Amino acid sequence: MDTWDKLKLKGELDELLIDFETKAKTILLKHQLGLKEENKQNDWKLEMPFQRGDVYFVLQSYGGCEKQIYDDVNLHNNNVVQGNAFVSEQLAELEAKRRELITKFKDFKDISNRDWEPDFNHFDSKYFIAYDYDFNRLKVYCQYGIDGFHIFGYFQSERDAKQAIEIFGDQIKELFVECEGE
């Protein structure tokens, strides 16, 4: 390495050290002031799907939906951010049915699993339900060390997962499989 390359490398290293020192001092100062480090994940700015005057439908806590006129105020923006605003009454009603099913399913799963929680750091069986498009049916699958974030969660026993298909299978297909394009 010639002298020019060494000087260039030294300059780049000096610049990195200055950046590091600046960031370290900032973190230390924030800690001393009791400020929390910003969560970079919260930097995402949600694009509002409605404009002032647009008609939209709000999913209410009791499962019904209400027609609203969008205005760029917190009430309407919060409906969007919380996932309670829909472009049509049909989509709002579909979401209400899905949420009700997920709540009932979760109750069944929690009772079936008792105190068991899936631990992906341990290589034991964790059963989940998914739709097999090759055979056009819901099936029980097994997971070990990877959490696929399945909407209906995991069961400790395969038998309980199969029972869940017996109890909830038709509703799952109706609300999550057959209407995916809606």
Each residue's pLDDT tens digit, 139-170: 999 999 888 889 999 999 999 999 999 999 99
Placement of tokens 């590091």 in the chain? 20
Distance CA 61, CA 121 (A): 37
* Residue type for position 173: K
Q: How far is CA 51 from CA 21, 77, 86, 140, 170, in A?
A: 45, 11, 13, 43, 37
Q: Using an 8 Å Cβ cutoff, are 110 and 152 in contact?
A: no
Convert the pLDDT of each residue in 79-127 to its tens digit.
Answer: 999 999 999 999 999 999 999 999 999 999 999 999 999 999 999 999 9
Distance CA 80, CA 68 (A): 12
Backbone torsions φ then ψ of 51, nearest 5 degrees = -120, 160
Across the range 23-51, mean pLDDT stands at 73
Check pLDDT > 60 for residue 39. Answer: no
Backbone torsions φ then ψ of 57, nearest 5 degrees = -120, 135
26 Cβ neighbours under 8 A, 6+ residues apart: none
Across the range 19-42, mean pLDDT stands at 71
